[in-house]
Amino acid sequence: MAGIRDYGAYIPYNRLERSSIAQTWGGYPKKGEKAVANFDEDTVTMAVEAARACLSQGGNEKVDRFYFASTTAPYAEKQAASLAAAALDLSPGAFTMDVAGSLRAGTSGICAALDALRGNSATNALVTASDMRLGAPNGAKEMDFGDGAAALVLARDDVIAEIDAYYTVNHEIFDQFRPADHPYVLSWEDRFVREMGFSRVVVKAVTAAMAQFNVSWSDITIPVLTSPNPGYLKGIAKKFGWDPKLAAMDAIYPRAGNTGCAHSFLLLCHALDRAEPGDRILWANYGDGCDVMLLTVTDRILERKRGGVETQLATGSPTTYPKYLRWRNLVETEPPMRPRQEPVSAPALYRDRRCGMALQGSKCRECGTVQYPVQRICMNCRAKDSFDYYAFADRQGRVVTFSHDLLGVTPDPPTTVAAVDFEEGGRIMVDITDRDPKEIAINMAVEMTFRKFRRTNGIQVYWWKSRPVRKAQMMPLGKDQSSTVGGVAARVDGGGK
């Protein structure tokens, strides 16, 4: 058997009111808001965030299989999984693979990971799903789509939820698609997408899967269905005979948008945050077919601190539509009269991979002083080449001093720069991102976040920034809270057929 040992979610800090888009174009305002990746984020950085939340108890070195799923990976040729693996300091022996091309990419990764676990070719499989899809400006998809990521670690034992079985079908249809040379997601008429795509395929697949799994709706306590349009869920609920209240099953969409191939992961994480031992989850994900899985929640779920998805949803800050357009390069802005970007050197970047990608400094073996980046000669005792690598990524720091720089070139001025001292030693000079400049103060607690920096000649430099600690402390949820309505966690409780 195999199942989910841990999970983590990441929803970007910046949020955009859908109505502000409608207001700009004079269109029909949709309710709610979408999560918007900052200018310094992409699907790799978001996957790293989610994976770090997932691996918060450590165990990076145990991961021996890593599937990176996205329809919007930064490179067509260059593996996103290897980029993220470097940032996560995964073992070089880990099997890495990108899964792309479908909103099922994430669940396809899960199926592949399950096969590897069952076939004894993996023991700890990390699967991340992250997306930041573009809908063309002034379209419904632009309002609907949000950015986000989630990660699951699958293992054979110590799982919080067994994945009892999976069932999958493929289904060829041009319902929603994006040509490789096109920036925006396209789709056919909504009714065709719903009737001939989603509704038909999901109903058929789920029905067949349940027969194969040998379960009926009375066995399922939590359905987790992902739809390209949450409006479609109502019809599905009706077809399956659920309580119509369960129609509003998508707790992520109203507050973060449809997050592409990450969406089914985020919905599952949200369900797991509220699940009880013994809950049976039917997890179905649609896109060019349908993946269906049956999960049984174990007692171990009670040992885990939960509530991470709600925390991610609740900690955000409004941004503006013009900023979003600029961050996605959808408007051309006058170049600043500043020095051009210094070209990136691939060899220099390669040499810097431990310090840069994995944020490792050194800890002197002689005097214990920690320092960043790696100092071959200790700044304290001058011992030469006597150090151990020392990871800073998961350590918390405090702002020693800062400035808000309006001269530096950035799509989100000002650039907030700071000297950050870490509670367990060491100092790094870093930007502070995802921040309200008014709130930055000396002694403010910050945490590290993996981000994009400059890009020249197609080479994207990644490094780390700090951000004010996002209230990531996960709250253990009591039993009576688990039935909170309004999300995917709404329970069927035998309410099925």
Partner 1 sequence: MKGIKDKVAIIGMGCTKFGENWDMSFDDLIIDAVYEAYEDAGIGPDDIDAVWMGSYWSNLPAPSQPLATTLKLDYKPITRLENMCATASDALRNAVYGVASGACDIALAVGGEKLKDSGYSGLPTDDLAMGLVSTGPNTFRSRNFTAPSHFAMMATRYFERYGLSPEQGREMLAKIMVKNHNNGMLSPKAHFRMPITVDQVLNAPMIAWPLGLFDCCGVSDGAAAAIVVRADMAKSFRPDPVKIKACQIAVGPSEGYLNPNHDWTMVKETWVAGQKAYEEAGIKDPRAEISMAEVHDCFSITEGVIYEDLGFSTRGGMGADIEAGTFELDGDLPVNMDGGLKCFGHPIGATGLRMTYELYKQLQEKAGDRQVKNPDLGLSHNLGGTPGGCTISVNIIGH
């001269």: which residue's tokens?
A: 407
Q: Is 429 in the site for partner 1 (CB under 8 A)?
A: yes
Q: Is 327 in the site for partner 1 (CB under 8 A)?
A: no
| Segment contacting partner 1 by CB under 8 A, of 108-116, 120-128, 305-313, 339-347 | 339-347
How far apart, in Å, are the Cα atoms of 138 and each of 37, 144, 232, 251, 477? Answer: 19, 11, 22, 24, 40
Q: Is 379 in the site for partner 1 (CB under 8 A)?
A: yes
For partner 1, the closer of residues 339 and 478 by Cβ is 339
- Identify the CA nearest to 37 among candidates 2, 72, 80, 63: 72
Question: Residues 372, 390, 392, 450: which binds partner 1 (CB under 8 A)?
Answer: 372
Opening angle at CA 276, ends 257 and 212, nearest 5 = 80
Question: Residues 31, 191, 338, 497: which binds partner 1 (CB under 8 A)?
Answer: 338
| Segment contacting partner 1 by CB under 8 A, of 24-32, 164-172, 197-205, 406-414 | 406-414
Copy the structure tokens of residue 242: 């659920």
Q: Is 442 in the site for partner 1 (CB under 8 A)?
A: yes
Distance in Å, CB of 115 to partner 1, minimum: 37
Q: Are 429 and 417 in contact (CB under 8 A)?
A: yes
Distance in Å, CB of 345 to partner 1, minimum: 4
Q: Is 120 in the site for partner 1 (CB under 8 A)?
A: no
Q: Is 238 in the site for partner 1 (CB under 8 A)?
A: no
Copy the structure tokens of residue 494: 């035998």
Cα–Cα distance for residue pair 497/242, rounded to 1 Å: 7
How far apart, in Å, are the Cα atoms of 434 and each of 257, 406, 442, 493? Answer: 19, 16, 17, 40
* Side chain identity at residue 68, one-letter code: F
The residues in 65-84 that bind partner 1, with binding defined as CB under 8 A, are none
Question: Residues 97, 325, 383, 419: which binds partner 1 (CB under 8 A)?
Answer: 419
Distance in Å, CB of 249 to partner 1, minimum: 42
Q: Is 381 in the site for partner 1 (CB under 8 A)?
A: no
Question: Residues 168, 320, 410, 484: which binds partner 1 (CB under 8 A)?
Answer: 410
By rule CB under 8 A, what count of residues binds partner 1? 54
Find all residues with CB under 8 Å of 293, minimum gap 6, and list them.
107, 110, 163, 164, 165, 166, 167, 282, 283, 284
Q: Is 403 in the site for partner 1 (CB under 8 A)?
A: yes
Distance in Å, CB of 392 to partner 1, minimum: 12
Q: Is 356 in the site for partner 1 (CB under 8 A)?
A: yes
Find all residues with CB under 8 Å of 406, minimum gap 6, and list them.
413, 414
For partner 1, the closer of residues 31 and 338 by Cβ is 338
Distance in Å, CB of 399 to partner 1, minimum: 9
Q: Is 408 in the site for partner 1 (CB under 8 A)?
A: yes
The residues in 457-486 that bind partner 1, with binding defined as CB under 8 A, are 461-463
Question: Residues 41, 175, 250, 431: which binds partner 1 (CB under 8 A)?
Answer: 431
For partner 1, the closer of residues 163 and 358 by Cβ is 358
| Segment contacting partner 1 by CB under 8 A, of 10-18, 23-31, 246-254, 422-430 | 422-430
Question: Residues 165, 409, 469, 475: which binds partner 1 (CB under 8 A)?
Answer: 409
Q: Are 449 and 466 in contact (CB under 8 A)?
A: yes
Residue 195 phi/psi, 5-degree rounding, is -75, -50
Q: Are 131 and 261 in contact (CB under 8 A)?
A: yes
Distance in Å, CB of 235 to partner 1, minimum: 49
Q: Are 296 and 220 in contact (CB under 8 A)?
A: no
Binding stretches for partner 1 (CB under 8 A): 336-345, 347-349, 351-352, 355-357, 371-373, 375, 379, 400-410, 414-415, 417-419, 421, 425-431, 437, 442, 453-454, 461-463
